[in-house]
């Protein structure tokens, strides 16, 4: 019996996830640590717990710091792996060092291949490909430290290179979130969940929600599972519906 349990722990991700949960509870460790801005990683964890997916894969578009304010590090730390898209070469290097299991691509994502100017801001979490966004940030007191010429690849190229469809996608592209969300062909490759920044940047609480993002996902049969004011988590209604039918 002990041998079977050890074998299942080593080979079955769901068994291992449940066993570790049992150990944590019996040790009195009931809380979980979030690395996200507003707990988005724990909300996603709840989604995948419900769907019984212990180690969801991910594509993180606009990855910045490998740990701080990351919506994917929680999953990496728990044994998952995925792709991090980091246009800033210094941040890509840092992510590779801290997260060696992940495929880290020092590129941008767009609707067509090519090159674009990437504006590195004085506050790195605000780095952007959008000239308009960079100018808005300058008016708020931030500086463009340097502008880099960065290669652009399509979503299809990223997924082809990785060889699979991720369980969830994180999009944090500072002004280009809608454009990148539109680049996904959801009739061909359909992640279970998306976590997308759905508000314009403002430092005085006046940011506005971007209704076009909600409309895009609604048209493609995703529903807004949760909203943290900054980010919205969309879940595939078809996949969620299969869960309801099963129960």
**pLDDT at residue 14 tops 60:** no
The pLDDT tens digits of the residues spanning 93-109 come to 999 999 999 999 999 99
Burial grade of 75 (CB within 10 A; 0-12, 13-18, 19 or more) = buried
Whole-angstrom Cα distance, residue 177 to residue 171?
Answer: 6
Name the pLDDT band for 42 (thresholds 50, 70, 90): very high
pLDDT above 70 covers a percentage of the chain that reads 85
**pLDDT at residue 155 tops 60:** yes
The 3-state DSSP class for residue 106 equals coil
Q: Which residues in 121-147 are b (16+ Cβ under 10 Å) and which e?
A: beeeebbbbbeebbebbeeeebebeee
Q: Please say whether the dihedral angle defined by the alpha carbons of residues 170, 133, 218 and 112, taken in this order, is positive or negative.
A: negative
Mean pLDDT of the chain: 89
The pLDDT tens digits of the residues spanning 133-152 come to 999 899 999 999 999 999 99
Name the pLDDT band for 205 (thresholds 50, 70, 90): confident
Of 10-24, 71-85, 106-120, give the lowest mean pLDDT range. Answer: 10-24
Neighbours of 226 (CB within 10 A): 17
Whole-angstrom Cα distance, residue 147 to residue 46?
Answer: 39
Whole-angstrom Cα distance, residue 211 to residue 214?
Answer: 5
Mean pLDDT value of segment 80-86 = 97
Question: In which order are the strands placed within the sheet that holds 231-236?
Answer: 103-105, 82-85, 58-61, 168-171, 193-197, 231-236, 222-227
Torsion (CA) 78, 104, 65, 32 in degrees, nearest 10:
-10
Q: Which residues in 164-203 are b (16+ Cβ under 10 Å) and which e?
A: eebbbbbbbbbbbbbebbebbebeeeebbbbbbbbbebee
Whole-angstrom Cα distance, residue 200 to residue 76?
Answer: 28
Name the pLDDT band for 206 (thresholds 50, 70, 90): confident
Largest alpha-carbon pair distance within the chain?
Answer: 66
Q: What separation, in Å, do the N-terminal and C-terminal C-alpha atoms of the chain show?
A: 30
pLDDT at 201: 87
The 3-state DSSP class for residue 13 equals helix
């Amino acid at each position: 019996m002990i041998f079977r349990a050890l074998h299942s722990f080593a080979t079955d991700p769901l068994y291992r996830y449940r066993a570790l949960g049992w150990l944590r509870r019996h040790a009195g460790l009931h809380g979980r640590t979030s690395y996200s801005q507003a707990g988005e990683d724990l909300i996603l964890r709840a989604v995948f717990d419900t769907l019984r997916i212990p180690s969801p894969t991910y594509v993180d578009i606009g990855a910045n710091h490998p740990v701080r304010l990351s919506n994917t590090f929680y999953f990496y730390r728990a044994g998952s792996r995925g792709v991090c898209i980091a246009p800033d070469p210094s941040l890509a290097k840092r992510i590779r060092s801290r997260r060696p299991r992940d495929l880290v691509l020092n590129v941008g994502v767009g609707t067509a291949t090519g090159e674009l100017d990437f504006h590195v801001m004085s506050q790195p979490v605000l780095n952007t490909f959008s000239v308009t966004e960079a100018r808005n940030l300058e008016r708020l007191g931030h500086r463009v430290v340097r502008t880099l010429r960065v290669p652009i690849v399509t979503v299809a190229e990223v997924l082809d290179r990785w060889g699979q469809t991720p369980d969830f996608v994180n999009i944090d592209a500072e002004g280009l979130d809608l454009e990148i969300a539109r680049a996904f062909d959801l009739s061909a490759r359909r992640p279970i969940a998306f976590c997308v920044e759905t508000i314009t940047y403002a430092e005085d609480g006046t940011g506005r929600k971007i209704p076009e993002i909600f409309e895009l996902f609604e048209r493609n049969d995703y529903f807004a599972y949760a909203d943290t004011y900054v980010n919205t988590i969309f879940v595939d209604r078809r996949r969620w519906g299969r869960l309801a039918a099963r129960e």
